Amino acid sequence: MAKLEVEVAGIKLDNPLILASGINDKTPEQWIRAHREGAGGVVTKSIGIEPRNGYDNPTIVELPYGLINAMGLPNPGWRGFLEMIKDYTFDFPLIVSIFGGTPEEFAFLAEKLSDVADAFELNLSCPHAKGYGMEIGQRPEMVYEVVKAVKDATDKPVMAKLTPNIDDITKLGLAAERAGADAVSAINTLKAIVIDVYARRPILSNRVGGYSGPGVKPVALRAVYDLARILDIPLMGMGGITTWQDAVEFLLAGASALQIGTAVSLRGWKVFREINEGIERYLESEGFSSVEEIVGLALE
């Protein structure tokens, strides 16, 4: 039997698949469900300082090759998050996604949530929430400042989630690495829009949203490939991973672990088990004994 266990930034995972921060990870019940269905770990919904209701409906549009969403970072705030999870224990790595408008806000959240997080993912790249994420995440100097501030505030592993909405994503990866990031996650959603031809206006209440799903996979794969060629820290790959073949491509491109989000909406929770089984069959049929043996082989 091929070994599916991986280790990323000191976090041990039973397999390389992680539930991505997004639309299927709002509650502890969803995290537990993901793990039961085969996810090696979980990234939470992005948590901010104050509670946010998010945008009015419609917030999601389904397209033939994925979803466009503009949720508006709805979350209970850090106090509400601690209240929500206080009666739960998790037997899998819990990566807490955090967002803020300044490096100080990110650092504050990391400090407050360090006792419950196994690691932090910094949402530096939300494409539709004004003042958060992408405005910060498109500037390498701000990525550096945020990562450095969080690293100073916690001893837990820190992962920077990078936006693809920039001319060269490697500038962001290098800035995160220089600031001490333990890993980077790539990619977040692509900035996108969809218009109702009869209403003659954008469908989403926020007009602009983030595109995810199979349609973004080649873009995400290229970003991971480019980052893996220049970074010394590990990568979490994501963006349209829907089948085991997609997963293997990302591993070969240099990702040490993979996040899956939209595929849960499109194919159901069983997607984790199906992809894991496919990776295992691939490894055995190709003569590999572990996932780690194939990470980055396409770079050589």
User: Is 2 annotated as belonging to a binding site?
Assistant: no
Q: What is the 3-state secondary structure (H, E, C) of 57-73?
A: CCCEEEECCEEEECCCC
User: Is 73 annotated as belonging to a binding site?
Assistant: yes
CA angle 260, 263, 266 (to 5 degrees): 160
> Is 254 in contact with 296 (CB distance < 8 Å)?
yes
User: Is 239 annotated as belonging to a binding site?
Assistant: yes
102 carries an active-site annotation? no
User: Is 21 annotated as belonging to a binding site?
Assistant: yes
Task: Say which amino acid occupies 243.
Answer: T
User: Is 71 annotated as belonging to a binding site?
Assistant: yes
User: Is 228 annotated as belonging to a binding site?
Assistant: no
User: Is 188 annotated as belonging to a binding site?
Assistant: yes
User: Is 47 annotated as belonging to a binding site?
Assistant: no
User: Is 262 annotated as belonging to a binding site?
Assistant: yes
User: Is 46 annotated as belonging to a binding site?
Assistant: yes
User: Is 187 annotated as belonging to a binding site?
Assistant: yes
User: Is 165 annotated as belonging to a binding site?
Assistant: no
For CA atoms 65, 229, 22, 7, the dihedral sign is positive
Which of the residues 13, 23, 61, 126 is marked catalytic? 126
User: Is 69 annotated as belonging to a binding site?
Assistant: yes
Residues annotated as part of the active site: 126
- Residue ranges for the binding site for substrate? 45, 69-73, 123, 188-189
- Residue ranges for the binding site? 21, 45-46, 69-73, 123, 161, 187-189, 213, 239-240, 261-262
- Residue ranges for the binding site for FMN? 21, 45-46, 123, 161, 187, 213, 239-240, 261-262
